[in-house]
Amino acid sequence: MDVSKFSLTIKKYIKESEPAPVHLWNPPYCGELDIRITRDGNWHYNKSPIGRKRLVKLFSNILKKEGDFYYLVTPVEKIKIQVDDAPFLIVDAESKIVNGTQEITFLTNTETEFSLGSKNPLRILFKNHTQEPSPYVVVRKNLEGLIDRKTFYRLIEKSEFHSHKGASWLGIWSQNVFFPILEENKLNILD
């Protein structure tokens, strides 16, 4: 399948500025396209970076995950692609007070904005051998974004201790929901 032909098909069905209703579409599987999203959020076609931001944004709006696999989906086609880690990279975060409550808003590498909350939760994985954190947040449906290092450090600056599951945890509040990051008695692993 040719990527330019596929992008013309996409434009028939969606607006570039918003995600398509891919959860409503169940087209037949049409094979794989040599598109890969690397851990740093860059999109590649045939092992070359896709330099057109508008095309990347368009593709990101038709992304769907089924099981462990990622697809670009239109009402008539479903094309499998490769994702090294998470399909989005969180490149910025902003904290604001809304109705007296802190709200954290994230920005992805594809210019999608959303707020940390019960529909878009945070999770942290720690590598076994280094204990290095890999923070993720749900961008939409079951598609996650990896939070880049600078943005994660800014989140840590906004964190506080709170009782969670019978222990004191360092975490972040957003939309009246507490998102635990690390139990207080394990903070020495970050030193």
39-57 residue pLDDT tens: 999 999 999 999 999 999 9
Q: Residue 43: which domain range?
A: 3-83
Q: Indicate whether 92 and 186 sit together in one domain.
A: yes
Residue ending a domain, among 83, 110, 136, is: 83
Q: What is the mean pLDDT of the chain?
A: 90
Residue ending a domain, among 27, 55, 83, is: 83
Element (H, E) at 25: none
Phi-psi region of 46 (alpha: psi -120 to 50; beta: other; left: phi over 0): left
Which percentage of the chain shows pLDDT scores above 70? 89
DSSP one-letter code for 39: T
Q: Where are the beta strands (DSSP E) in the chain?
A: 29-37, 43-45, 48-49, 63-66, 69-73, 78-83, 88-98, 101-108, 113-115, 122-126, 133-140, 143-147, 160-164, 167-174, 177-183
Listed range (1-10, 80-89, 177-186) with the worst mean pLDDT = 1-10
The residue assigned the tokens 């909350």 is: 117
- Work out how many domains the chain is built from and give that number: 2
Mean pLDDT confidence for 180-185:
89
| 127 vs 114: CA distance, rounded Å | 27
Q: Indicate whether 45 and 126 sit together in one domain.
A: no
Q: Indicate whether 94 and 178 sit together in one domain.
A: yes
Q: Does 191 score more than 80 pLDDT?
A: no
Closest CA to 90 of 39, 44, 142, 53: 39
pTM of structure: 0.87
Q: Indicate whether 50 and 73 sit together in one domain.
A: yes
Residue ending a domain, among 38, 68, 83, is: 83
Q: Indicate whether 184 and 93 sit together in one domain.
A: yes
Q: Indicate whether 101 and 171 sit together in one domain.
A: yes
